[in-house]
Structure 1
Amino acid sequence: MYQRVRRRKVAEINVVPYIDVMLVLLIIFMVTAPLITQGVKVDLPQADAEPLDEDSKTPLVASVDAQGRYYLTVGADDKEPMSLEDVATMVAAHLKLDPDTPVVVNGDGAVSYDAVVQLMVILQKQAGVPSVGLMTDSVEE
């Protein structure tokens, strides 16, 4: 009579096809990631900005000119260029006297985005301004 040889069942998973699929996915993601992160075209909505109320207090205007120099004006008071830290110190001192004074940022159209952002950050972090507004020109139709 024949003796039946019992084979032991192998309980292993063949991972070679999974490795192939993972390598293909890795290559696809490596190729497409730079294309996705370089930039996205965004169409910003256009809206007319509401002017400050006539009843509101005269705002502090922190300005950046085209050369990247910083100014601080209260009302129609023109000042000399000053450092970013001096602007923060003067705004903080003015807000201690009158905490309800609005603070707005006026940036020249030719100034770098970084200069305006640095001004806004220092106004909020060092001067303690709760909210910063942005000045704009009116839209001509």
Structure 2
Amino acid sequence: MLKHIRNRAVSGLAGIGIAATLLVAPAAISAQQPVIPEGETISSWVENGQNGRYLLQMLEGEVPAGETAMTGVILSDTDCAPDADGINHCKNEIRLENGSVIKGTNNHRMSVNRCLKPGETVTVSPLNDGWAVVLTSEHEATR
């Protein structure tokens, strides 16, 4: 009888531990991802790239001040292995029409929305400090 009570207590504690882990896991997962810029309509990085509209987290360079949008060509798409949450943090280089090159991270789930393709012509617009919007031809088709 005592052994049965002890086994039930251990099972109950294990269940509490599993439940606590499941409750904390979403907070740990979201802590790994960059915060989506305020005012954006996507609720998670899984949606980034929907209809050809990508938020690009800037690493180097910027869209020149005073420009609302510039044409650019994707030069590279690298380091696309997904993280533990299945989100890809692809590194992109884009040559803008003025000849400058910007570098950024495209946080997205490539099984839902494709990567930016080297050689592809895009439109790049500044969003706010540290962020830009990249529009592909798919975005133009949805207008």
Q: TM-score range by the shorter chain?
A: under 0.3
Structure (1 or 2) with the greater strand fraction: 2
Structure (1 or 2) with the greater helix fraction: 1
Larger Rg: 1
Q: Pick 1 or 2: higher relative contact order, CA cutoff 8 A, min separation 6.
A: 2
| TM-score (normalised: structure 2) | 0.26
